[in-house]
Chains A and B, each alone.
Chain A
Amino acid sequence: MIEIQNIEKHFGNNHVLKNVSFLFERGKTNLIIGESGSGKTTLIKVLIGLHKIDSGTVLFDGVDFNAIKTKKQRLLRQEIGMLFQGGALYDYMSVEENIMFPLNMFTKKTDVEKLERVNFCLKRVKLEGKNRLMPSELSGGMTKRVAIARAIVMQPKYLLCDEPNSGLDPKTAIIIDNLIQEITKEYNITTIVNTHDMNSVMEIGENITFINKGEIWWKGNKDELLNSNNKELNDFVFASELFKRLKKV
């Protein structure tokens, strides 16, 4: 469970997050939706201290992230898996080395155990046997899947995903969404997913927050979302003709 309370964040004069509070529940895929530039990426990065917050509190199962020492923060971060918008694979390492990297860094497992774990994770994202490929040889969807494998290799308690399916075709996008959903349930992870893709919302939206111009505008689940009367939310959700028609039905 991750709880944020009254988060404020400025970039210079740009007030990016305004008094944001939310509870991200354990074992659920918590969604943050909002249009481009609304502050979704910033919110995720602020959670884990990649950007400093101006004020507010971030609690990881009750632990105040910003009140603990850097060393403790690093330990906590080892329990967090993160999927970056562009994958952020280390480009001088192969797929296998990328996924094995956290294991090399933080565990005392033997080489055989490490390889076993890597292969398990690769299989989990349906990329078995792709160990030797380099990041430059992967397609967009494969890159995201390797990044997921790397994010889960240490069995994180928290999984943060920044637009896991941006730039993917709808079918691959749904595969990725479901993968995240399954992993979340399977290991009882607190998962946060940033997205502006309505397909994802319908697929995996259990606990949704709509962020607009840096403010939390609406909270609920996907059924509530469809029946909401919130104007900004409706403008966002039913932006496309397809969804407008669905709303009428």
Chain B
Amino acid sequence: MTKLLHHLGLYFIMMKKVISKPKNWSVFRKQLSLEMEKVGLNSVSLVIILSFFVGAVVSIQTSINMSNPLLPSYLVGLASRDSLILEFSPTMISLILAGKVGSSIASELGSMRVTEQIDALEIMGINSASFLILPKVIAAVFFFPFLIIISMGVGMVGAWVGGLSTNITTADFMYGLKYEFTPFYISYAIIKTIFFAFIISTVSAYFGYHTKGGAIAVGKASTTAVVSSSILILLFNYILTDIILS
């Protein structure tokens, strides 16, 4: 418990340092575009592949489980849509990104710490926390919602393909897809995603930035970063769902 409070305290101290105006905008813009690429663009293909296949599997399973002829077949489109938008895209994809992006943030900062590169920034009179972490947080918060929207789109294509293989017609699927569609669900998913992006980038940065020791410590920091941000995502998923949807 005291350890948790200790981490929390250090986390907020770090965040206070992170949130400060960049000293030099042209250097900052360069850092930011680099991070956009590392944090966002490099994950696009992973997100596409995952979403397509999960979408397909979701629709196949729904249609198999609904063999009762009384249930209308457009339900497959509807169920796939809601499960993709409400849970799979924002939460599952965020968990996967916690693994991919979180570990890379933590190990990058961790190795900069143990090779004294962070000290070297500090000694030049640079706020290292802000210089290194702020662009990552902004890149994640800005880019993750796009990844999630891509995931929803591709997931539905997957669901449609999966549906075809279980004899759901395109017309039925499309009808289900549009049936009683609540646009608010998309906003809800994006709000969640923004929270998750913030959690992943700052929590992983926290563990990387505070690495102590050598190469082994860097590995440990990146594992801790992934585990902690995943747990926090699940926790906040519960809290946010409760607050927003009920």
Binding site for B on A (CB under 8 A): 45, 48, 50, 73-78, 80, 82, 84-86, 88-91, 101-102, 104-106
B23 touches A105 (CB 8 A): yes
Contact with A along B115-143 (1 / 0, CB 8 A): 11101101111110000000000000000
Closest 6 CB pairs of A and B: A77-B125, A74-B125, A88-B116, A88-B120, A78-B125, A84-B116
What residues of A have a CB within 8 angstroms of the CB of B112 in the complex? 90
B24 touches A88 (CB 8 A): no
Nearest-neighbor residue (CB-CB) of B131 within chain A: A105
What residues of B have a CB within 8 angstroms of the CB of A88 in the complex? 115-117, 119-120
Q: Is residue B243 contacting chain A, with contact meaning CB distance below 8 A?
A: no
Give the shortest distance, in Å, between A117 (CB) and chain B (any CB): 15
Task: List the count of A-B residue pairs having beta carbons below 8 Å apart.
Answer: 52
B27 touches A77 (CB 8 A): no
A86 touches B124 (CB 8 A): no
Binding site for A on B (CB under 8 A): 23-24, 26-27, 112, 115-117, 119-120, 122-127
Nearest-neighbor residue (CB-CB) of B30 within chain A: A104
A75 touches B125 (CB 8 A): yes
Nearest-neighbor residue (CB-CB) of A49 within chain B: B122
Give the shortest distance, in Å, between B63 (CB) and chain A (any CB): 49
B116 touches A80 (CB 8 A): no
29 A-B contacts, Cβ less than 8 Å apart?
A48-B123, A50-B119, A50-B123, A73-B125, A74-B126, A74-B127, A75-B125, A76-B125, A80-B123, A82-B119, A82-B120, A84-B116, A84-B120, A86-B115, A88-B115, A88-B116, A88-B117, A89-B117, A90-B112, A90-B117, A90-B120, A91-B115, A91-B117, A101-B124, A104-B24, A105-B24, A106-B24, A106-B124, A106-B125
